[in-house]
């Protein structure tokens, strides 16, 4: 966890929930408001896979000790005037973004955000894009401090995944093909010895909580796709356009991968985020949310029923959906040559 005092780990995940959401009322709402226009700033809504998702609440925890593997990213040392007006890692060649995935009925968003960013970091380092194992993170990452949950399908954070990999000699990630994802129905599994380690996370970079948009843009462009925590409570029916979270009642509860930013023709700034709710959700599995670091709120339930008892009773979170609060990028080594 980043070394700046009491640091909360945010991230629990939305998970699929049968087809009970397909009620007549939901169909009526969808039919009356469905305007699929991926260039519009007003989001469209449609009956898609995210209507099958529900939240189980946010969980937080703290780490009291400084962590040698966590490095604070300082954008002040960079030439920010050279940042492009818009940017998207999906356009980078050779590719550094794998196809959109689906976490299923497991609270494993943290493992997807962690593995996806490790994939991108590995691709940027080696030129090879390899799908890395979310299941290995899910099965093998201990969570004694209950950061973002209690581990496995009950939640965690990208930070604890990276800390575990960096702290253990066998903490490297296998490929998806040798350690496939099997917890889509919500069941935890037993940690298996990885058949063949491909990438090893040796450290990670982070931004201080609620850093400005310019700092987050710099981290994204200079270092690669970023694992961020967000409030996805209102994302279920998102179909397209630039989404604006409510300015109040923000509760961080989901981990995703930030891949880009831009501005619409009418001047609305946005972030581009890759979700783990399948390509059928949103804009081919992605969502654009409004980019505005001046919107802040208080997450007033950081320990409600699930968080660390020693944690603060509230934290300030900024950016639409709280996106500016927590941002990390892994630093990887190529282990594919080691048998």
- Which are the catalytic amino acids? 109, 254, 275
Spatial distance between the Cα atoms of 297 and 186, rounded to a whole number of angstroms: 32
The answer to whether residues 69 and 203 touch, using CB atoms and an 8 Å cutoff, is yes
Strands 286-290 and 242-243: parallel
CB neighbour class for 261 (10 Å; exposed up to 12, middle 13-18, buried from 19): buried
Residue 62 tokens read as 């703290």
d(CA 61, CA 331): 23
Count of CB atoms situated within 10 Å of the CB of 25 = 9
Hey, how many other C-beta atoms are within 10 angstroms of the C-beta on 271?
A: 30
Displacement of CA 7 from its chain's centroid (Å): 17
Q: Where are the alpha helices (DSSP H) in the chain?
A: 24-33, 109-126, 134-140, 158-167, 213-223
Of the candidates 182, 207, 179, 205, the residue with the CA atom closest to the CA atom of residue 193: 179
- How far apart are alpha carbons 97 and 113 in whole angstroms? 12
CA–CA separation, 185 and 149 (whole Å)? 18
């Amino acid at each position: 966890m980043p070394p700046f005092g009491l640091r909360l780990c945010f991230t629990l995940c939305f998970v699929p929930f049968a087809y009970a959401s397909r009620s007549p009322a939901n169909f009526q709402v969808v039919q009356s408001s469905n305007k699929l226009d991926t260039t519009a700033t007003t989001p469209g809504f449609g009956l898609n896979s995210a209507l099958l998702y529900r939240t189980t609440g946010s969980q937080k925890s703290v780490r009291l000790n400084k962590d040698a593997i966590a490095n604070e990213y300082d954008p002040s040392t960079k030439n920010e005037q050279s940042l492009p007006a818009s940017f998207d890692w999906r356009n980078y060649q050779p590719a550094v973004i794998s196809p959109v995935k689906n976490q299923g009925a497991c609270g494993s968003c943290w493992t997807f955000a962690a593995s996806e960013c490790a994939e991108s970091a590995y691709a940027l380092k080696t030129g090879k894009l390899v799908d890395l194992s979310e299941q290995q993170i899910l099965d093998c990452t201990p969570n004694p401090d209950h950061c973002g949950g209690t581990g496995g399908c009950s939640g965690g954070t990208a930070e604890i995944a990276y800390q575990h990999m960096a702290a253990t000699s066998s903490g490297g990630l296998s490929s998806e093909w040798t350690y496939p994802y099997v917890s889509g129905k919500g069941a935890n599994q037993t940690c298996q010895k990885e058949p063949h380690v491909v990438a090893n996370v040796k450290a990670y970079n982070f931004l201080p909580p609620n850093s400005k948009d310019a700092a987050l843009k710099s981290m994204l462009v200079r270092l690669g796709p970023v694992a961020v925590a967000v409030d996805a409570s209102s994302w279920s029916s998102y179909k397209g356009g630039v989404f604006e979270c409510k300015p109040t009642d923000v509760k961080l509860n989901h981990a995703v991968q930030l891949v880009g930013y831009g501005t619409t023709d009418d001047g609305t700034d946005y972030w581009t985020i890759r979700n783990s709710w399948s390509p059928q959700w949103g804009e081919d599995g992605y969502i654009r949310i409004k980019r505005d670091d001046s919107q802040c709120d208080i997450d007033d339930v950081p320990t409600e029923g699930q968080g660390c008892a020693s944690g603060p009773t509230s934290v300030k979170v900024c950016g639409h959906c709280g996106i500016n609060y927590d941002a990390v990028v892994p630093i990887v080594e190529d282990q594919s040559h080691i048998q």
